[in-house]
C-alpha cells in the first residue's frame, strides 16, 4: 500500500483460560442447545447473516501476493527485498488483478490461495488451509498502478467486475485483503466519494472509502453488497502511516479496461481525441462571451486530429460525452482516457447558441512512455544503481522513439522498482545523452558512470524529455 512512513504499535493481550469439566444433564434438564441470549432482532440479524454469507462468498477469490526481488540500499547496490500485497481472481482459469507497485521490480511472485472450511468441518479456527502457487506477471501499467498476474490453476472461485459508474456516495462496501500481512481480512465501510483526483493534472481517479485499508491491502478488492468488484484498493491518505479512514481504490471500470488490454496486447494503449479542454470559470465565461459560468470549453483542437476531422472547433462548449453531462475538463479527459482505441464517442456541444453532435474516433496517445516496456528484460537491460531498465538507441528504436534531438544515447524504457519516483527522477521515455557533461552512448558506459561514485553523491544527467533538453539531478543511493 502506498503510504507515508508507517508507525505500527502492537498491544499484548493477557489471556485467562478457564477449564470447566462437562456436567451431565440431570433428569430434569434438557440436553438440547438453548436459545442464544441477546440475539439481534429482525433486521439486524438479517443484515448480520447477509454480511457473513457475502464474506464467505468473496474471500476464496482473494489472494495474498508475495513479491521477492532486489532493492537499492546501503553500500551494496542491491539487497534482497520482499513485499506483501493482495489480489483478486477475476477469471477461474488463474487470472488475477493487483496493484503494479506490489510486483514492481519483483523477480519472483507467489500467491496464496485461501480455502475456507465448510460449516461443520473440523479444524483450527486460527488459520484456514491454503496453498501457494508461482505467478507470472503478464503485464503492468504504472499510470493506473494496475497489474495482471497468471497462475497455473483452473476452476478457481472468481469475482465479477461491477460498474463503478453506478456507485453512489454512502453505499455499503467491503474491503478484502491482507493488511500488515494478516491474510483473509475483511472490513466494512461506505463509499465516501465516487471520484477523487489526487493531482490536478492526473487523468486517474479513485473511489474513496472509509472501509479500513492498511499497508498490505494493496490490490485487494473493494466489493459491493452483491459481491462485485467496484474498485481495487490502491493507497491511503494517512498522517500516521496506518488507516485514518481515507482509502482509495482504482474504479472497476478502469480495472476492466486495463485487464482487457493487457490480455490482448500486453500493455495499455491510451486514447485521445485531439483536443485541449478547460473548465469554464465565471471570469473565462464572461471574457469569452460564452453565456455560461460553468462547464467545459475546447481551448485547442489539434490540426489533423480526430476531433478536427469530425468538425469540432476552438470555443465549442462541450455539454455531454455519450449522453453523460460534462461538468469540468478533468471529467472529459478521464472519460476519454477510459475508452478503447477505435471507439467512436459522441460529443454534444453548443456553438454560438446552436446545439451540435459529433462522432469522434479515439486514437492512441502519441509517444506513450509505456510503449517501450515490451522491449526490455531485467537480465539485459537493468541498470541497478538507477533502478531503471534502459535501451541503447539504434536505427530500429529511433523509428519508434523519434524524432529525437540526438541519434546516440540511452533510452529509459521503464522503472525497475523502488517506488514511482519523484518529479526530478529519470522517467520512462527519457533519453540520456550525457552525465556530468560526458557523453554516454551505451549501457556499459552508463553502468560504469553511475557505478563509481559513492552513495550520497549526485550526478547531473542531460536528457531529452518530450522534445526538450533538460538537466536532471540524481542522488545515488
Cell of 42: 429482525
Residues in the chain: 477
Under 8 Å between Cβ of 473 and 458:
yes
| Active site (annotated) includes residue 164 | no
Residue 3: active-site member? no
Peptide bond into 372 cis (omega under 30): no
Q: What angle do CA 8, 12, 14 make, to 5 degrees?
A: 165
Torsion angle (degrees, nearest 10) of CA 216, 221, 222, 226:
-150
107: nearest Cα among 81, 132, 89:
81
**Distance (Å, whole) CA 300 – CA 316:** 10
CB of 90 within 8 A of CB of 97? yes
Instruction: Catalytic residue, from 185, 212, 218, 238: name it.
Output: 218
Spell out the residues 6+ positions from residue 11 whose beta carbon is closer than 8 angstroms to its own.
none
Tell me, yes or no, if 218 is annotated catalytic: yes
Residues 141, 145, 210, 348: which is the catalytic one? 145
Catalytic residue chosen out of the listed positions 83, 101, 425, 430: 101
424 grid coordinates: 526530478
Please, what is the Cα angle at 149 between 148 and 151, to 5 degrees?
150
Number of Cβ atoms within 10 Å of the Cβ of 333: 22
Phi, psi of 90 (to 5 degrees): -110, -5
Task: Give the number of other Cβ atoms within 10 Å of residue 106's Cβ.
Answer: 23
Q: What is the rounded CA–CA span in Å between residue 415 and residue 409? A: 17
- Strand 206-209 and strand 185-196: the pairing is antiparallel
Q: Which residue, among 413, 446, 416, 410, has the nearest Cα to 428 in the 3D structure?
A: 413
Q: Are 296 and 318 in contact (CB under 8 A)?
A: yes
Active site residues: 101, 145, 218
Amino acid at each position: 500500500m502506498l503510504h507515508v512512513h508507517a508507525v505500527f504499535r502492537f498491544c499484548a493481550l493477557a489471556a485467562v483460560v478457564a477449564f470447566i469439566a462437562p456436567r451431565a444433564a440431570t433428569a430434569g434438564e434438557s440436553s438440547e442447545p438453548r436459545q442464544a441470549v441477546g440475539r439481534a432482532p429482525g433486521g439486524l440479524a438479517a443484515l448480520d447473516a447477509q454480511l457473513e454469507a457475502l464474506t464467505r462468498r468473496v474471500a476464496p477469490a482473494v489472494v495474498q501476493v508475495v513479491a521477492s526481488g532486489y532493492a537499492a540500499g546501503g553500500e551494496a547496490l542491491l539487497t534482497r527485498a520482499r513485499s506483501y500485497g493482495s489480489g483478486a481472481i477475476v477469471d477461474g482459469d488463474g487470472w488475477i488483478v493487483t496493484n503494479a507497485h506490489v510486483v514492481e521490480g519483483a523477480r519472483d511472485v507467489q500467491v496464496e490461495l485461501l480455502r475456507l472450511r465448510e460449516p461443520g468441518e473440523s479444524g483450527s479456527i486460527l488459520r484456514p488451509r491454503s496453498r501457494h502457487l508461482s505467478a507470472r506477471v503478464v503485464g503492468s501499467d504504472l499510470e493506473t498502478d494496475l497489474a495482471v498476474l497468471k497462475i497455473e490453476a483452473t476452476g478457481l472461485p472468481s469475482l465479477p467486475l461491477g460498474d463503478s459508474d453506478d456507485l453512489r456516495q454512502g453505499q455499503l462496501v467491503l474491503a478484502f485483503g491482507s493488511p500488515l500481512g494478516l491474510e483473509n481480512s475483511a472490513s466494512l465501510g461506505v463509499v465516501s466519494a465516487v471520484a477523487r483526483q489526487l493531482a490536478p493534472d492526473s487523468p486517474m481517479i479513485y473511489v474513496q472509502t472509509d472501509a479500513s485499508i492498511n499497508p498490505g491491502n494493496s490490490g485487494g478488492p473493494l466489493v459491493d453488497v452483491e459481491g462485485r468488484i467496484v474498485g481495487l484498493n490502491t493507497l491511503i491518505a494517512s498522517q500516521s502511516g496506518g488507516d485514518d479512514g481515507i482509502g482509495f481504490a482504482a474504479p472497476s471500470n478502469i480495472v476492466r479496461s486495463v485487464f482487457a488490454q493487457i490480455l490482448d496486447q500486453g500493455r495499455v494503449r491510451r486514447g485521445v481525441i485531439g483536443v485541449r479542454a478547460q473548465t469554464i470559470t465565471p471570469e473565462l465565461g464572461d471574457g469569452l462571451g460564452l453565456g455560461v459560468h460553468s462547464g467545459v470549453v475546447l481551448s485547442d483542437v489539434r490540426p489533423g486530429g480526430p476531433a478536427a476531422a469530425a468538425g469540432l472547433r476552438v470555443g465549442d462548449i462541450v455539454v455531454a460525452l455519450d449522453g453523460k453531462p460534462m461538468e469540468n475538463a478533468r471529467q472529459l479527459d478521464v472519460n476519454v482516457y477510459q475508452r478503447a482505441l477505435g471507439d467512436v464517442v459522441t460529443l454534444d456541444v453548443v456553438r454560438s447558441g446552436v446545439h451540435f453532435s459529433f462522432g469522434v474516433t479515439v486514437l492512441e496517445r502519441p509517444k506513450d512512455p509505456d510503449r517501450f516496456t515490451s522491449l526490455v528484460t531485467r537480465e539485459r537491460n537493468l541498470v541497478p544503481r538507477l533502478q531503471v531498465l534502459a535501451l541503447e538507441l539504434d536505427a530500429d528504436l529511433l523509428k519508434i522513439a523519434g524524432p529525437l534531438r540526438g541519434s546516440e544515447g540511452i533510452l529509459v524504457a521503464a522503472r525497475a522498482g523502488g517506488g514511482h519516483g519523484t518529479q526530478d527522477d529519470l522517467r520512462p521515455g527519457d533519453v540520456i545523452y550525457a552525465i556530468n557533461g560526458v557523453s554516454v552512448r551505451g549501457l556499459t558506459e552508463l553502468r560504469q558512470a553511475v557505478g563509481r561514485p559513492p552513495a550520497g553523491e549526485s550526478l547531473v544527467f542531460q536528457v531529452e524529455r518530450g522534445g526538450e533538453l533538460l538537466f536532471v539531478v540524481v542522488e545515488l543511493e
